[in-house]
Amino acid sequence: AADRDDLVSVEGTYEVGMQDQAFLGPESGMAVPDDDGGVDLYVATQWLHVDRDQVAACLDLPHEKVRLTLAGVGGAFGAREDLSLHVHLCLLALRTGRPVKMSYGREESFHGHVHRHPARMWYRHHATTDGDLVRVEAHLLLDGGAYASSSSAVIANATCFAAGPYMVPSVEIEGVVVRTDNPPCGAMRGFGAVQTCFAHEAQMDRLAAALNMDPVALRLRNALEPGDRLATGQVIAGTLPVAEVIRACAGHPSAALGSDEPMARPGGAGRTADAQHVVRGEAVAVGFKNLMFSEGFDDSSAARCVLHHGVATITCACAEVGQGFVTLARQIAGEVLGVDEVVLAPVETTSIGSAGSTSASRQTWMSGGAVQMACETVRRELLAGVSTAHGVSIDDLVLADGRIVSLTGDLDLSLEGLTVEPVEAEVVHRHAPTSPLDGDGQGDAHVSFAVSAHRAIVDVDPDLGLVKVVELTTAQDVGRVLHPLQALGQLEGGAAQGVGLAVMEEVQVTNGHIRNASFTDYLIPTALDMPPLEVAALIEQPEPGAPFGAKGIGEPPSISSTAAVAAAVRDATGLALPRVPIRPPDICLGGNALTAEVIA
């Protein structure tokens, strides 16, 4: 199909630099030896049970001799999926017979965890003169660094979503990750989709220019929708409101007015950008990604609910790293059981099974689903007992506000009195099964998907190469919002990481050595760098199989935000700018050697 004479084709090569997760709390922990020859480890992590298994293997101890308890929050964004100081702490404690505490400094933290994979990506898009995508070809090359970590899963994800949230009849995507002598790379928020979104959205803008077509209209014309078939051959069975997200974001009124205030200019106060030299750019980008683990992984989460004296106690090994699961778990239990007081038991490995990793936007669905299932089991048992004891149909009973009442008003019982003897349930929740991709990259590898869009407005001083992100607008597919304030926090945090990757964040590596392992030299957005985030819409289309229809929302904000900011800078300057982060010399010296061109 790509050989047809009536097609328009654009080709480009794009690069993404190495980004650090830059979480708030560096790695730290405490190990306490036990008289039985085992060890208790208190540490911040993303997956307690896998950490336990790896530490036990390193120490040649049975699993039951290594006990992990979640300690602290501190953020993660993928960097706490791999072991850091865990084994050293336990070895020291076992050797000395005394508790040992260890904390990394920021420089040690930079060297002690994985980063986002740098990427070099070649793309070629083919479309009809009417703007219908016909074929996408891409070669993706990721630098995995010195250790494998989760590189194989990251490149699989990048490959699956390399064409973007668009209907493309023909694709040929090759993904390769290589082991090098550079610092190791692994999981980071977006997990491969950030890199490819930057590339495929740059291609869509170039295609729109070649077609003399509005970039938003081109995206809408090709937007995926439920029932469409992905590049992997999988048919979208759940919700995926791509067009609705694009329209909401692109159509939202802008509040970005011009300002004569020096702090509003690129570079801020002082003798930096002159107002008459500043140019403005605007662009929209769209990205999507899978939710939860994929490709046949046996993904599960365990939870226990105990209702005693009217108080619900929830036990789940879900690692809270700042995403807000502790709030959602209480909400879910309170909603299902009709109680006000919900206690969360300490998160550890000895009393409950694995909750899986706090990653892949999965814990709301997986551990939230496990908590919901456990609470619903307790609810059913309670209602069945009352129904039997009082001769009332279960359908005529209502559980709310700490009481069970009948619809007729003849029965009114307190949960506190009904649960003098505890009622409890322990469950293991699994999502619908997936399958590995075959040799041709085909298979039903994913459970669900989420899409986000960002519109960026930037001011640029082309002479100095300075960029000011003036406004970000976003819309996102969320299934159902469970906690509006936490949802906004996820959107704002993801956008901040996206802005950072677009214009400032990069781990500088020379001969395998990190050169900027501090927040003095590794720049991250401050309050002065971040623009207001306008939420155009949270598109609520409840997802089948998800707890209360809610999708995980942590990763999509970081996927399309980088691409939108970079595209807006291109719009302002007219430069190709095929690499992020965009540095001042890339603008004031006219870009770099990477190519992006119309070829037919």
Q: Is the pLDDT of residue 68 over 80?
A: yes
Q: Read off the pLDDT of residues 11-25 as tens digits, 9 standing for 90 and up.
A: 999 999 999 999 999
Where in the chain are all domains bearing CATH 3.30.365.10? 28-112, 119-293+438-598, 300-430
Locate 496 and state its tokens.
């901040």
Q: So what's the pLDDT on residue 600?
A: 38
Q: So what's the pLDDT on residue 591?
A: 60
Q: Is the pLDDT of residue 599 over 90?
A: no
Task: Tell the residue number behind the tokens 């949230």, with chain if given.
Answer: 165
CATH architecture of 28-112: 2-Layer Sandwich (3.30)
275 — pLDDT class (breaks 50, 70, 90): confident
Q: How far apart are CA 399 and CA 414, in angstroms?
A: 10
Locate 564 and state its tokens.
């939108």
Q: Read off the pLDDT of residues 286-323 as tens digits, 9 standing for 90 and up.
A: 999 999 999 999 999 999 999 999 999 999 999 999 99
Give 116's DSSP letter: P
Centre a 10 Å sphere on the Cβ of residue 587 and count the other Cβ atoms it contains. Answer: 23
Q: How far apart are CA 418 and CA 422, in angstroms?
A: 9
Q: Is the pLDDT of residue 597 over 60?
A: no
Per-position DSSP letters for 141-206, written without gaps between them: EEEEETS-TTHHHHHHHHHHTTT-SB--SEEEEEEEEEE-SSPPB---TTTTHHHHHHHHHHHHHH
Q: So what's the pLDDT on residue 72?
A: 84
Q: Read off the pLDDT of residues 340-375 as tens digits, 9 standing for 90 and up.
A: 999 999 999 999 999 999 999 999 999 999 999 999
5 — pLDDT class (breaks 50, 70, 90): confident
Q: Is the pLDDT of residue 220 over 60?
A: yes
Query: Do the Cβ atoms of 224 and 242 come closer than 8 Å?
Result: yes
Q: How far apart are CA 485 and CA 491, in angstroms?
A: 10
Q: Is the pLDDT of residue 596 over 50?
A: no
Q: Which of 415, 509, 433 is nearest to 185 (CA)?
A: 509
Segment 84-113 mean pLDDT = 97
Locate 330 and state its tokens.
């209480």
2 — pLDDT class (breaks 50, 70, 90): low
Sign of CA dihedral 541, 547, 550, 552: negative
Percentage of residues in the chain with pLDDT exceeding 70? Answer: 98
Q: So what's the pLDDT on residue 3?
A: 62
Q: Which of 416, 404, 250, 399 is nearest to 336 (CA)?
A: 399
Q: Read off the pLDDT of residues 129-186 as tens digits, 9 standing for 90 and up.
A: 999 999 999 999 999 999 999 999 999 999 999 999 999 999 999 999 999 999 999 9
Q: Is the pLDDT of residue 551 over 60?
A: yes
325's enclosing H/E stretch is helix 325-337
Q: So what's the pLDDT on residue 251?
A: 98
Q: Read off the pLDDT of residues 419-428 as tens digits, 9 standing for 90 and up.
A: 999 999 999 9
Q: Which of 546, 533, 540 is nearest to 476 (CA)?
A: 540
Q: Is the pLDDT of residue 111 over 80?
A: yes
Write down the mean pLDDT value for the chain: 95
Q: Read off the pLDDT of residues 503-541 as tens digits, 9 standing for 90 and up.
A: 999 999 999 999 999 999 999 999 999 999 999 999 999
Locate 387 and state its tokens.
């129904």
User: Of 31-40, 71-80, 239-248, where does mean pLDDT reach its minimum?
Assistant: 71-80
Q: CATH assignment of 300-430?
A: 3.30.365.10
Q: How far apart are CA 424 and CA 382, in angstroms?
A: 10
CATH architecture of 119-293+438-598: 2-Layer Sandwich (3.30)
Q: Which of 83, 68, 90, 80 is nearest to 25 (CA)?
A: 80
